[in-house]
Structure 1
Amino acid sequence: MDLNDADFIPVSIQDIPLIQTYLLKAKYEESNHNIVNFFQWIKQYPLWKYTTEHYLLLLGVHKGKLFSYMPLCETQYFEEAILKDKSIFNQFNIPFELSCFTENEKDKVLSLLPMAYVTCEEDASDYVYEADKLRTLSGGKLQKRRNHYNAFLRNNEGHVSTEEITSLNKDEVKAFLASWKTDSNDEYFLYEKEGVFSILDLMGQLPCRGLLLRIDGEIKAFLIGTKSSERMVQINIEKADPMIRGLYQAIEVEYLKTFYTDAILVNREDDMGLESLRQAKRALDPLMMIHKYRLREHV
């Protein structure tokens, strides 16, 4: 499939305002449909766009297969966008494949394409939490995290400061990231870290906010998030010195108290199928899960 012939154009950083405009129209709360995620992974998972007045189609590639994300549009244009997307795939005689579709959008597609093959991407489900619980670490189920946080406050009283990530301190954050977990050679970890460097370079261009935490003037943690809907903040990137007890809890509490204070929900993304991460996210007492589906026109 020649994407140029199909009127798909490669996505670049110049498209950030365009994509964000259409994301706001769509009002999706699923973590993959997020401006920071798109550009954090764009080197490993390049994107192409097809733009009309009413909708924006995003095409991705995974393991050599092309797929489409949920169309970025207002609800009334969803059907029109899906049918156009399908016609482009059919034009080039390749199976129509959709990925990262949420329950409601999956059902809309099935009403149009009832014979589509559907699989639930179990390891990709997003964990969503009550924002106030994470701001205060209140409730019995968060007792262990509250203990870690209180220990951090006791052990570092008078030594902690926080500040927003800006062009003035961005290089310091990158230096901390470069030294963070340097012993890991896992391919996914290295790609993820490379993507974080890219996001730091785009701070100021992306509609996200970042907070760093210092102990005795030295950066020990940082967090970057976005407002994914009127009610939800998404935690995109979170790095901290793992040797400091309670530091992860501290940076998250401070972030949610500093930015997006009107958000009532927090999306902490998926667990990537990692048991340790799954246990940690479940221990945070999620309010709900956002399940995701892959649809194929042909099996």
Structure 2
Amino acid sequence: MIQFITPQLSDRERVDAYFLPSGYRCCEYAFTNIFAWRDAFREKIGECAGYLTVRCNDSRYFWPAGQGDIRPMLRALEEDAASLGNRLSLYSLTEGEKERLEGLFPGKFDYTLVRDGFDYCYDINRLADLTGKKLHAKRNHIHRFEEHYPGWTTEEIGPHNLQECIALNEDWEAAAAAAGHEDWNAQEGCEALRRCLYHQQELGLEGLALRGNGKLVAFTMGKSLGGDTYDVFFEKAYADIQGAYPMINREFARWVRAHHPEIVYLNREDDMGEENLRKAKLSYHPDLLLEKYVAELKEGAAL
């Protein structure tokens, strides 16, 4: 029987050893996300036969990352699911993983696209340069910011400004609650961000902060997924400051491009089914909408 444990900071290197070489672009395959959201989704990690997976809410498993024959791992997950009274359910399968699973176990699974979980990936040069007619509105918002804050600056996130980032996150959460917009996603998102800020160095997170008139008005954090894709985990700004969001977006894209020349895509993660978030992400016209499937073992089927 596969053993599952709650991920701790000490598990980072072990998990990265599976995730980073995998080439997976999905945001699920980042230790930071697993650690940050572990309480919200009751996430636990488990290893078997050269593969590692994450179990969520005792009901669903990430498509495993690793090397070699994956069938022993999938059968171990089938056994674990059965012990919890469930049929095996695998999440975060791209088209390639879906085809691989179907090739291994033809006709055993039902597949469902999960639109709320699609990742929005953007060519890093487009976000860094904001060229073209489609991004004209973003450039206008940035111009407004530059007009109001002609002495704006950016700086890397570290011990010297961490408390200011924490304060901005708390201000954002309070403003969302006052406006009646603090739903479960917002609450858990702020808590996940808090965990990342408190453990920035241990998680190896990179980040950039934006100042206007000396005040920290926006910040963002991310990390490479190990291949050609960089995951932007969080982005926060004061909503009443016009242009703060597109400004920190552009500046971080430029920072990543300068520090990670191998990066082709910025993964700005999914929209969790939130209408406003989906509208905002679509407004940047993603170059790659990373589709994800859930694969459910058919009733009566066995691996």
Q: CA, structure 1 residues 51+138, in 2 after alignment: closer, same or farther (shift >3 Å)?
A: same
Query: Quick one: which of 97, 106, 112 aligns to 1:105?
Result: 97
CA distance in 2, matches of 1:127, 1:150: 25
Q: Which residue of 1 aligns with 2:139?
A: 146
TM-score if structure 2 supplies the norm length?
Answer: 0.89
Query: Quick one: which of 166, 181, 203 aligns to 2:158?
Result: 166
Query: In the TM superposition, what is the alpha-carbon distance from 1:216 to its structure 2 partner?
Result: 2.1
Q: Which residue of 2 aligns with 1:177?
A: 169
- The yes-or-no answer on 1:14 pairing with 2:7 is no
Q: CA, structure 1 residues 81+260, in 2 after alignment: closer, same or farther (shift >3 Å)?
A: farther
Describe the SS at the equivalent of 1:29: coil
Query: Is the 1:31–1:126 Cα contact (8 Å) retained in structure 2?
Result: yes
Query: Is the 1:208–1:227 Cα contact (8 Å) retained in structure 2?
Result: no
Describe the SS at the equivalent of 1:45: coil
Query: In the TM superposition, what is the alpha-carbon distance from 1:206 to its structure 2 partner?
Result: 1.2
Structure 1 unaligned blocks of 5 or more: none
Q: CA, structure 1 residues 13+251, in 2 after alignment: closer, same or farther (shift >3 Å)?
A: same
CA distance in 1, matches of 2:279, 2:165: 29
Q: Which residue of 1 aligns with 2:110?
A: 117
Q: Which residue of 2 aligns with 1:24?
A: 20
- The yes-or-no answer on 1:279 pairing with 2:275 is no
Query: Is the 1:227–1:260 Cα contact (8 Å) retained in structure 2?
Result: no
Q: Which residue of 2 aligns with 1:188?
A: 185
- The yes-or-no answer on 1:226 pairing with 2:223 is yes
Describe the SS at the equivalent of 2:202: coil
Query: In the TM superposition, what is the alpha-carbon distance from 1:93 to its structure 2 partner?
Result: 5.6
Q: Which residue of 2 aligns with 1:73?
A: 66
Describe the SS at the equivalent of 1:167: coil
Describe the SS at the equivalent of 2:208: strand
Query: In the TM superposition, what is the alpha-carbon distance from 1:32 to its structure 2 partner?
Result: 1.9
Code of the residue aligned with 1:18 in structure 2: it is R
Q: Which residue of 2 aligns with 1:294?
A: 294
Query: Is the 2:173–2:187 Cα contact (8 Å) retained in structure 1?
Result: no
Query: Is the 1:45–1:60 Cα contact (8 Å) retained in structure 2?
Result: yes
CA distance in 2, matches of 1:70, 1:25: 15
Query: In the TM superposition, what is the alpha-carbon distance from 1:118 to its structure 2 partner?
Result: 1.3
Query: In the TM superposition, what is the alpha-carbon distance from 1:242 to its structure 2 partner?
Result: 1.1
- The yes-or-no answer on 1:252 pairing with 2:249 is yes
Query: In the TM superposition, what is the alpha-carbon distance from 1:208 to its structure 2 partner?
Result: 2.2
Describe the SS at the equivalent of 1:51: strand
Q: Which residue of 2 aligns with 1:40?
A: 36
Q: CA, structure 1 residues 274+9, in 2 after alignment: closer, same or farther (shift >3 Å)?
A: closer
Please provide the CA RMSD for this pair. 1.9
Q: Which residue of 1 aligns with 2:119?
A: 126
Query: In the TM superposition, what is the alpha-carbon distance from 1:6 to its structure 2 partner?
Result: 4.1
Q: CA, structure 1 residues 256+191, in 2 after alignment: closer, same or farther (shift >3 Å)?
A: same
Report sequence identity in percent: 26
Deviates more, 1:190-199 or 1:278-287: 278-287
Runs of 4+ that moved beyond 4 A: 90-93
Query: In the TM superposition, what is the alpha-carbon distance from 1:188 to its structure 2 partner?
Result: 1.9
Query: In the TM superposition, what is the alpha-carbon distance from 1:34 to its structure 2 partner?
Result: 1.9
Query: In the TM superposition, what is the alpha-carbon distance from 1:28 to its structure 2 partner?
Result: 0.8
Describe the SS at the equivalent of 1:180: helix
Query: In the TM superposition, what is the alpha-carbon distance from 1:167 to its structure 2 partner?
Result: 2.2
